[in-house]
Amino acid sequence: MSSIKLSVRKRFHLFRSRTRVWETSPVQLDHYRIIFIMSGHGQFILNGSMSSYSHHGILFLKPGQQPVFQEDKDTEIFVIAFDTYLGDDFQKKKAFSPDFADTYKLAENLCNGIRMSQGQPIPNERDNQTVHSLISQVTFEVAQRPASHIKLIRGSIEMIVTILARNNFESKKAGEKTSRDVLTDQMIEFLRNELHQNKSIRVPEFLLRFNVSEDVANICILNQTGMSLRNFIFKYKSDLFKSRMLKVDVIELSPYLQRH
C-alpha cells in the first residue's frame, strides 16, 4: 500500500507507510505518537533496549522518542500523532479544540504511563480486533475524503484511544501487587521460615515486627489463605509435621498457599 498522510491542524496527524520510509524522514517527532504494526514482524530498538514487534503490535512514544526497526521487508505501520500545540496549558488547548482536547490528554497520559508490552498486540483479543477495524475505517476515510471524513476519523481515534487506555489500566491491575499484597507475602514467608526452623511464633512480637494490628494481619492472611493469623499458624504447623512424617513437600498438603 502506498503511503498516506493526513494532518488536522493543531489536533492530530496520520501517517501510513513502510517503516523504512518513515525512518528515512521522521514525521511528527515532537508529538505523542501511537504506532500500529499493520504487517510484518521483527525487532526494534527504543531507548537503547531491543524488543520484538509483531503483527497488530503497538508502540507508544513520547515526544522525541524514535524507535529503530530491524525489519523484514513487509513491515508496514500506521501512526497517530497527537499535536502538542498548547499541550503545556490544557485549558488553552481545551478552549482551542474542545472536541479533541480530552482525547489528547488521554493519549498523553497513556504514552507517559504505558503498562502494556511495547510492540505487542492488546491482550484482549476482541479489543485488538476492534482497534484494527477502526484503523481500517480511518484509512478508508482518508482515501475517500468525503465531506464528513474528518468527523468520522476523529470519532474513530477517540474510540481507539479509549480502548487502549482501558487495556492499559487492566494491565496495570494485573501486573502490579498492592502494598497489602506485598505485606501479606512477607508475613506468610516469615511465618513459614520460623516454623520450618521449629521456632515458636509469639503473635505480639510478630505484629510488632510488621507494625500492624492483629485485625490487619487477620484481614491480609485471610484474603490469601482463607484463615486468620492464628489459624494459619496452627494449620501450617500441623501440615509441616505431617509432611515430615510422610516425607513429602509441605506444599502438597497446603493448597491454601496457592489462593489469590
* CA–CA gap between residue 23 and residue 78 (Å, rounded): 13
pLDDT recorded at residue 260: 45
Average pLDDT over residues 13-42: 84
pLDDT recorded at residue 257: 77
Q: Which CATH fold would you assign to the domain 4-175?
A: Jelly Rolls (2.60.120)
Grid coordinates given for 197: 526452623
- pLDDT of residue 82 exceeding 50: yes
Q: In sequence order, what E strands does the chain have?
A: 4-8, 12-18, 32-39, 42-46, 49-53, 58-61, 68-70, 76-82
Q: Does the model's pTM come out above 0.75?
A: no
Average pLDDT over residues 145-152: 77
* CA–CA gap between residue 130 and residue 114 (Å, rounded): 20
| 182-221 confidence digits (pLDDT tens) | 888 899 999 999 999 999 999 999 999 888 888 888 888 8
Q: Is 4 exposed, middle or buried (0-12, 13-18, 19+ CB in 10 A)?
A: middle
Are the beta carbons of 54 and 121 closer than 8 angstroms? yes
Element (H, E) at 133: helix 125-144
Element (H, E) at 110: helix 101-112
Grid coordinates given for 227: 484463615
* CA–CA gap between residue 122 and residue 124 (Å, rounded): 5
* CA–CA gap between residue 19 and residue 53 (Å, rounded): 12
CA neighbor of 137 nearest in space, from 2, 223, 14: 14
Grid coordinates given for 218: 487477620
Q: Report CA-CA distances (Å) from 144 to 2, 14, 139.
A: 14, 15, 9
Higher pLDDT: 137 or 20? It is 137
Residues facing residue 42 across a β-bridge:
53
Quote the radius of gyration of the chain (alpha carbons, Å): 26
Grid coordinates given for 60: 507508544
Question: What residue spans define the domains of the chain?
Answer: 4-175, 179-258
Are the beta carbons of 31 and 63 closer than 8 angstroms? yes
